Amino acid sequence: MEKETNSPSSHSGDVYFSLQASWGITKHLGGLRATRLLAQRCHIGEDKKVLVVGCGVGTTACYLVKEYRCRVVGTDISESMIERSRQRARREGVADMVDFRVADAQALPFEDGMFDAVICESVLAFVGDRQKAVNEFTRVTRSGGYVGFNEVTWLKPPPLKLVAYLTRIMGADFLMADGWKGLLEQSGLGEISAESFRTNVLRQWSEEVSQFETADFMRAWGRYAAGLLKDPAVRKFTVDALSFPKSIFSLFSYFGYGIYSGMKG
Ligand SMILES: C[S@@+](CC[C@H](N)C(=O)[O-])C[C@H]1O[C@@H](n2cnc3c(N)ncnc32)[C@H](O)[C@@H]1O
């Protein structure tokens, strides 16, 4: 088994994700409710073969197996995320229905048309060439299958300081709805659907609570506390994260999430 580490590398996005992997928790806006809607839009059901790109700690991949009895492959660029996903699948008793492997969303190691649906949640904002990634999703989807994603979506143009802060801390680059939708259009998909949703701190919290168990949160906080005590990189990240612009208090007036999907003709 891979060694657990709280030690992030130098790039801000890498720091953010190596911390999340060490805590064993990854998230997307809208939580379980958004996952269900995405699954519905992509016609996920029994016996379907589904690829979950950027699966993080495997929450959605395991959920899909349990809820829809589909076969799932989960990929992530991070080795430690994949290890966490495998642990989760074993813990939840679904390891025989889900495979996890390390892969970059921009170069998927699968043949054309292998999947009935390809989905990702809160991943494209962190990918260098997201059009290339969406083209890859489309390539590995069968004709008549669906590509869908959930991404943080600016509901109105955000203050530059807020954008700079989120880029610095998370390495994220979010778009407005038209930008996300355009990725699906450019990759040649049809029947495109784009829906944007507002959320807030309380609603997001309650969605996350329904997705994780109390033990998951306790473990994550314990690992974070240990990191704060032992690891200078965790302390530096925390100090950086605390130097936020005032507009962070109205974050949810600027950003929500969008569920985007399209069908391969
Ligand atoms: C915000 S987390 C979301 C994880 C998961 N989808 C969820 O909803 O919990 C983003 C994930 O995308 C992964 N990621 C970032 N860039 C990637 C890339 N180029 N290819 C594949 N995965 C990537 C990160 O390692 C991380 O696990």
Mean of the per-residue pLDDT values for the chain?
A: 91
> Is residue 211 helix, strand or coil?
helix
Number of the ligand 1 atom closest to the C-alpha atom of 28: 8
Q: Name 99's Cβ contacts closer than 8 Å, sequence gap at least 6.
A: 72, 73, 74
Nearest CA to ligand 1 atom 27: 56
Q: Residue 13's pLDDT is what?
A: 60
When computed from its CA atoms, the radius of gyration of the chain, rounded to whole angstroms, is 18
Q: Residue 233's pLDDT is what?
A: 84
Burial string for 148-161 (b: 16+ CB within 10 Å, else e) reads bbbbbbbbeebeee
Strands (E), the chain: 49-53, 71-76, 98-102, 115-121, 141-154, 175-176, 190-197, 255-263
Site to probe by mutation for ligand 1, drawn from 35, 37, 72, 77 as the one with most ligand atoms within 8 Å of Cβ, is 77
Centroid of ligand 1 to alpha carbon of 190 (angstroms): 25
Pick the CATH number of 12-263 from 3.40.50.720, 3.40.50.150, 1.10.357.20, 3.40.50.1360: 3.40.50.150
Whole-number Å distance between alpha carbons of 98 and 90: 10
The structure tokens listed for 103 are 């892969």
Q: What residue segments make up the domains of the chain, in order of their start?
A: 12-263
Is there an atom of ligand 1 within 6 Å of 121 CB?
Answer: yes
Is there an atom of ligand 1 within 6 Å of 26 CB?
Answer: yes
Is there an atom of ligand 1 within 6 Å of 126 CB?
Answer: yes
Beta bridge partners of 73: 51, 99
Number of the ligand 1 atom closest to the C-alpha atom of 57: 9
Is there an atom of ligand 1 within 6 Å of 76 CB?
Answer: yes
Q: Residue 216's pLDDT is what?
A: 82
Centroid of ligand 1 to alpha carbon of 150 (angstroms): 12
Q: Residue 132's pLDDT is what?
A: 98
Is there an atom of ligand 1 within 6 Å of 52 CB?
Answer: no
Chain position carrying tokens 């309380």:
202
Alpha-carbon distance values, 33 to 55, 146, 217 (Å): 17, 19, 19
CB-CB neighbours of 256 under 10 Å: 18
Centroid of ligand 1 to alpha carbon of 122 (angstroms): 7
Q: Residue 9's pLDDT is what?
A: 36
Is there an atom of ligand 1 within 6 Å of 81 CB?
Answer: yes
Is there an atom of ligand 1 within 6 Å of 78 CB?
Answer: yes
Centroid of ligand 1 to alpha carbon of 27 (angstroms): 9
pTM of the model: 0.91
Alpha-carbon distance values, 89 to 25, 213, 254 (Å): 14, 14, 35
Q: What is the pLDDT of residues 88-100, one digit of tens each?
A: 999 999 999 999 9
Quick check: 101 and 75 in contact, CB under 8 A? yes
> Averaged in consecutive runs of 10 residues, what is the pLDDT profile of the chain (265 residues)?
33 70 88 96 97 97 97 96 96 96 98 98 97 98 98 96 91 96 98 96 84 83 88 87 90 95 98
65 sits in which H/E element: helix 59-68
DSSP string, 76-141: ES-HHHHHHHHHHHHHTT-TTTEEEEE--TTS--S-TT-EEEEEEES-GGG-SSHHHHHHHHHHHE
Is there an atom of ligand 1 within 6 Å of 27 CB?
Answer: yes
